[in-house]
């Protein structure tokens, strides 16, 4: 933390240098001045001035360090975030601040007596990560929903009651993206408390953007700003959303002549014309989900519900469908979509609400609406025994947060390119699973959890690239202190699952997860439309001392 330098901050070396400089300069200007120790000049004038000069020199050094992004990259503690932003403001950008991780907590209690928890009530993981309730929560057996109360639900076996409370991390950071089912302890006494756990995957936590990352954005930031080129579109969107809750991690724009641009061939001859643009916005670091409760209706022996655009705008895929009470253990999962433990289901997506817009989306080609805010999905659960004409399910959906806000901005009259039709899409997410066995020198222990975090962080920053290779991850592991990696097929498993815009699930595995091997323009699969992402629960590092 850089603070203002005062005279008391001057150290001996700085003083000595300043004093010598002053004596030298004074004697050069006036050789007759005696500045030896014991003279009045030295003790009363030069010495005091030297302290001020030394402080000024320190201030100058500090200022110089604060004026250089390269210097700050070497020593980020030399300046406040505002100082960095002051420099970046010259390029019309500021550093992306970290984001809080949000989710919900399932709290189990023993009695039917209502429970009220104040906003800010803390819960913490065994590792010390702290979360706080986002709002006051009053759970009642017979809740007054109009008064904001939430239901206190009896468990299936009647042995306990539970309620769901929204929460967010106390601090920003990707570390706070904890898995569903993570045990949480309250910091205060809750009457009848039994246990608490993450009801949903906590997501959205982003670590502060580093100076290096901000520097890489500068070319885009100083480009011409109009919604007409890849760079300028990115500049415009980043500028608009940099101070918002929406973090644009990466953008890919598909336009005239690009492989996955389907909408520019809407003519009898089927040849491509300009003015159709698809913007794939990665607005997440780790995969982000929203959890919603959907009431399904029994139709022909199966429960059916519709996932509307408002439920999860531009969602990528359904992660799980389960009973409202259920918490699916992430340890049983390895990057599958849907995750193990989910009810089986089928979904049919279609375009909706397009008629009210100027967007050119062919409703007869479902892929054109996939991953946009104009898609809806009719979901049919298979293999769920009927238990009433309606039934409520807990639905987890992978989303790109803020997609609807970005689409609204792109469509705004003040911004939109009058000659273009720009549609925002959630990127296709290749969900990565890693299972690796590594060895380390017993004299220099390594932390498996840290290695898993490092791998996840690396994968989650690989956006719109054609492939992810084991060798890349191996280098991350080596830099984390491991001495040897079991590179056999069973010693280092790497897999990726990706859903395309035709409803097909592709599984990649082996030395390299290569998007180009499954490239399919009609299904919107290309390296310019896909991103790699990993949940930490799908990264398993086994460490062995040797």
Partner 1 sequence: MTVVATTTSYAGRTVDIELMQSVQTLESPQRMELSFSAQATRIVTGAQKLIQRYALLFLSTIGTVRFDMAQGTSLIASVISGAVQTTGGVNIAFADANQRVLQQLVEEDQQEDLFGELPDDETLVNAVLISTDIDYAQATLFMRILLTTAAGDNIVFVLPVTATR
* Site of interaction with partner 1 (CB under 8 A): 12, 15-16, 19-20, 23-24, 27, 31-41, 43-45, 47, 50-51
- Between 31 and 301, whose beta carbon lies closer to partner 1? 31
Beta bridge partners of 198: 105
- Between 20 and 187, whose beta carbon lies closer to partner 1? 20
Q: Within 10 Å of residue 188's Cβ, how many Cβ atoms?
A: 10
- Between 43 and 74, whose beta carbon lies closer to partner 1? 43
Tokens matching residue 263: 């909408």
Q: Give the containing element (helix H, strand E) for 305.
A: strand 302-307
Smallest separation, CB 13 to partner 1 (Å):
10
Cα(326)–Cα(324) distance, integer angstroms: 6
Report CA-CA distances (Å) from 431 to 286, 442, 531, 535, 539: 10, 33, 9, 8, 11
Which is it for strands 375-382 and 530-533: parallel, antiparallel or unpaired? unpaired
Smallest separation, CB 19 to partner 1 (Å):
8
Smallest separation, CB 15 to partner 1 (Å):
5
- Between 15 and 91, whose beta carbon lies closer to partner 1? 15
Contacts of 320 (CB under 8 A, 6+ apart): 328, 338, 339, 341, 342, 343, 394, 395, 396
Measured N-to-C along each axis, helices 47-66 and 81-88 cross at an angle, to the nearest 10 degrees, of 60
Task: Count how many Cα atoms sit within 13 Å of the Cα of residue 531 in the half-sphere of its side chain.
Answer: 26
Smallest separation, CB 58 to partner 1 (Å):
14
- Between 15 and 439, whose beta carbon lies closer to partner 1? 15
Cα(216)–Cα(237) distance, integer angstroms: 16
- Between 15 and 160, whose beta carbon lies closer to partner 1? 15
Q: Give the containing element (helix H, strand E) for 47.
A: helix 47-66
Q: Give the containing element (helix H, strand E) for 468.
A: strand 467-469
Smallest separation, CB 57 to partner 1 (Å):
14
Query: 3-state SS of 66-81?
Result: HCCHHHHHHCHHHCCH
Smallest separation, CB 35 to partner 1 (Å):
6
- Between 20 and 504, whose beta carbon lies closer to partner 1? 20
Do residues 184 and 467 lie in contact, with contact meaning Cβ atoms separated by under 8 Å?
no
- Between 18 and 508, whose beta carbon lies closer to partner 1? 18
Smallest separation, CB 48 to partner 1 (Å):
10
Q: What is the largest CA-CA distance in the chain?
A: 108
Task: Count how many Cα atoms sit within 13 Å of the Cα of residue 468 in the half-sphere of its side chain.
Answer: 30
- Between 57 and 497, whose beta carbon lies closer to partner 1? 57
């Amino acid at each position: 933390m850089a603070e203002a330098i005062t005279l008391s901050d001057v150290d001996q070396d700085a003083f000595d240098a300043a004093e010598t400089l002053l004596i030298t300069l004074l004697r050069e200007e006036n050789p007759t001045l005696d500045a030896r120790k014991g003279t009045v000049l030295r003790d009363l004038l030069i010495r005091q001035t030297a302290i001020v000069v030394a402080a000024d020199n320190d201030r100058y050094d500090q200022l110089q360090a604060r004026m250089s992004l390269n210097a700050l990259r070497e020593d980020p503690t030399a300046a406040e975030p505002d100082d960095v932003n002051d420099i970046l403001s010259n390029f019309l950008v500021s550093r992306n601040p970290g984001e809080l991780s949000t989710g919900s907590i399932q709290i189990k209690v023993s009695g039917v007596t209502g429970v009220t928890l104040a906003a800010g009530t803390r819960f913490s993981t065994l590792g010390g990560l702290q979360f706080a309730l986002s709002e006051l929560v009053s759970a009642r057996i017979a809740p007054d929903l109009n008064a904001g109360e939430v239901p206190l639900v009896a468990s299936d076996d009647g042995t306990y009651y539970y309620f769901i409370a929204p929460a967010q991390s106390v601090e920003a950071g990707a570390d706070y993206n904890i898995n569903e089912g993570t045990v949480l302890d309250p910091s205060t006494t809750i009457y009848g408390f039994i246990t608490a756990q993450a009801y949903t995957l906590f997501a959205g936590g982003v670590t502060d953007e580093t100076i290096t990352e901000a520097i890489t954005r500068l070319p885009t930031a100083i480009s011409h700003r109009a919604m007409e080129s890849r760079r300028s579109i990115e500049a415009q969107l980043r500028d608009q959303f940099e101070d918002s809750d929406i973090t644009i991690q990466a953008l890919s724009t598909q336009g005239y002549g690009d492989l996955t641009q389907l909408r520019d061939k809407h003519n009898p001859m089927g040849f491509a014309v300009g003015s159709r643009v698809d913007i794939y916005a990665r607005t997440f670091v780790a995969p982000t989900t929203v959890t919603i409760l959907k009431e399904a209706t029994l139709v022909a022996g199966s429960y059916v519900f519709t996932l509307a655009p408002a439920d999860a705008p531009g969602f990528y895929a359904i992660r799980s469908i389960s009973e409202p009470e259920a918490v699916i253990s992430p340890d049983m999962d390895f990057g599958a979509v849907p995750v193990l433990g989910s009810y089986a289901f089928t979904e049919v997506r279609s375009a909706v609400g397009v008629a009210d817009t100027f967007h050119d989306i062919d409703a007869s080609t479902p892929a054109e609406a996939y991953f946009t805010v104009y898609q809806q999905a009719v979901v049919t659960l298979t293999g769920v025994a009927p238990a009433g004409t309606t039934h409520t399910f807990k639905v987890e959906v992978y989303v790109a947060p803020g997609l609807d806000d970005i689409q609204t901005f792109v469509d705004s009259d003040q911004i939109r390119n009058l000659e273009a039709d720009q549609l925002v899409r959630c990127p296709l997410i290749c969900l990565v699973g890693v299972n690796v066995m590594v060895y380390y020198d017993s004299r220099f222990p390594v932390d498996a959890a840290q290695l898993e975090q490092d791998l996840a962080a690396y994968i989650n920053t690989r956006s719109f690239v054609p492939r992810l290779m084991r060798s890349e991850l191996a280098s991350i592991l080596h830099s984390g202190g491991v001495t040897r990696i079991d590179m056999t097929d069973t010693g280092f498993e790497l897999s990726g699952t990706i859903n395309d815009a035709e409803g097909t699930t592709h599984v990649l595995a082996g030395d390299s997860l290569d998007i180009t091997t499954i490239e399919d323009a009609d299904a919107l699969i290309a390296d310019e439309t896909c991103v790699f992402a990993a949940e930490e629960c799908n990264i398993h590092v086994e460490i062995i001392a040797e």
